[in-house]
Homo-oligomer: A and B are copies of this chain.
Amino acid sequence: MRFLYLGLILLSSMLFAQDYSDYIKTAEEITRKALNDQSGYRMLEELCSIGPRLTGSENYNRALLWAKARMENMGLDSVWLQPVMVPHWERGNIEEAVLTSGSIVKNLSVTALGGSIATPPEGISAEVLEVKSFEELELLKEKARGKIIFFSRPLEQGLLNTFAGYGGAVDQRSSGAMNAARYGGVAAIIRSVTTKYDNVPHTGSMNYSDTLPKIPGAALGYIDADYLSKMLKIDPQLKLTLKFNCRKLPDIKSYNLIGEIKGSQYPDEIILTGGHFDSWDVGCGAHDDGAGCLQSLEVLELFKKLNLNPKRTIRCVFFINEENGLKGALEYARYYDSIGTYHIAAIESDRGAFTPEGFDVESDSLTIKKISDWLPVLNRTGIEYVKNGGSGVDISKIQNIKARIGYVPDDQRYMDVHHSANDTFESVHPREFELGAAAITVLVYLLSEEGI
């Protein structure tokens, strides 16, 4: 009996090993094809030549038509647009921050935060109160009235993970204007949330409260934030003049873009791969998140090129409006959950196109274990781990789903470029981009073959 069991165990582990070696072969084939053709990377070059893709902008529409044509030429089974109403904020063409101290007059490198109101046409001129935190502002609240509040706490460079550093500083961007307004501040400026010591300002969304005055919000380049801080020590009465003509327009109709390959055996089981197609209006949203979208699309292209006929349906989604409203993700989830679409998994790529590190999975422990067991296959693309962890904001709204999965690449250079003019095609490395595309493709392949 014992020998029989042993025999069965040996047999099953041999069968299991057999399966793996075929998967490993396919994973290596996928990786080779991605690295040799670099087709997603080439698509990204085309996309970036169109320019940035702010939600509601003409440029978004141009890029969308380009991407739709790309999908249609790929021979997918279906390509369609999903309409959704989105916010429409425009930066305008005036962005100024001028420091005046005695005879010194200096233009600082500045960008309005996304969603900010404009200044009056003549600008806002005021003294500056520098604080490192909301707690410090609370302590100094008597001094805040009529001032421009300068939140100068830098991203903590000393942490291994740059997203942790970002998370520790970004409250100044998202809530700085509200907190400044609470104590009578007339505008809020922040030190850019960045890992790079340069003078390129980083934008990003900011919030207002209905119960507090709305005041403008902006970010300074890191070097000019240092300069302002230094000057305030010499001349605490120096004046800063801010001028912005950004504006919020009425909501506008826009679209998510969806393309899919129908599954041959379980067409009703959807494996979603996607990113957000909108970007901030500085740089060209190469890493954030043009790359994530085109890696996701390359997944479908690699299936076509390598004649991999998926058992389950593979759907690529380019979500609109992740940066300033999440309307695309909300509408996608609302509609497809409402018609009973079942997603067995959704994979989001929205952390830059750097060298693969792992997959963070939101699911039950058995499912996470099952995906972890594929590591000997996944690591043919450079994936080092599969673990429980947060996936991605665009797929977070889908309810009828088994596993939400975030693709996690190396993060050391992401915050250098994030939400800034540094986020250009040139900052993306072809091999790093393509390994990400290969990693997601191999995971999708395993999901489509094995299910979960």
Contact = CB atoms under 8 A, between A and B. Distances in A.
Interface of A: 31-33, 35-36, 157-160, 162, 195, 355, 357, 380-382, 384-385, 410, 412-413, 429, 431-432, 435
A160 B435 CA distance: 8
A444 B418 CA distance: 35
- Chain B CB within 10 A, most for which of A157, A357, A413, A432: A157
B412 A158 contact: no
Q: Enumerate the 4 nearest inter-chain pairs by beta-carbon distance, A residue then B residue, closest first.
A: A32-B158, A36-B158, A412-B431, A384-B384
A160 B379 CA distance: 10
12 contacts: A31-B160, A32-B158, A35-B158, A35-B160, A36-B157, A36-B158, A355-B355, A355-B410, A357-B384, A410-B410, A412-B432, A413-B432
A432 B381 CA distance: 21
Contacts of A195: 431
Contact of A435 (B32, B33, B412, B435): B412
Nearest to A197: B430
Nearest to A34: B158
Contacts of A429: 412-413
A385 B383 CA distance: 12
Contact of A35 (B32, B157, B381): B157
A162 B431 CA distance: 10
Contacts of A160: 31, 35, 380-382, 435
Contacts of A159: 32, 35
A379 to B, nearest CB: 9
Contacts of A384: 357, 384-385
Given A32-B159, A35-B157, 12 more contacts: A35-B160, A157-B431, A160-B381, A160-B435, A195-B431, A355-B355, A357-B384, A384-B385, A410-B410, A412-B432, A413-B429, A413-B431
A362 to B, nearest CB: 22
Given A157-B36, A158-B35, A380-B160, A355 B431 contact: no
A432 B354 CA distance: 13
A157 B412 CA distance: 24
A162 B435 CA distance: 12
A384 B355 CA distance: 13
Given A355-B412, A412-B429, A31 B158 contact: yes
A173 to B, nearest CB: 21
A11 B196 CA distance: 46
A269 B306 CA distance: 56
A435 B157 CA distance: 11
- Chain B CB within 10 A, most for which of A33, A162, A382, A385: A382
A164 to B, nearest CB: 12
- Chain B CB within 10 A, most for which of A36, A385, A412, A429: A412
A33 B33 CA distance: 42
A35 B154 CA distance: 14
Contacts of A410: 355, 410
A31 B384 CA distance: 21
Contacts of A432: 412-413
A13 B51 CA distance: 57
A143 to B, nearest CB: 30
A384 B160 CA distance: 13
A100 B414 CA distance: 46
A38 to B, nearest CB: 8
Nearest to A382: B160
A153 B295 CA distance: 29
A429 B36 CA distance: 26
A83 B364 CA distance: 63
A159 B432 CA distance: 12
A39 to B, nearest CB: 13
Contacts of A357: 384
A293 B195 CA distance: 25
A37 to B, nearest CB: 9
- Chain B CB within 10 A, most for which of A157, A160, A381, A432: A160
Nearest to A379: B160
Contacts of A36: 157-158
A191 to B, nearest CB: 16
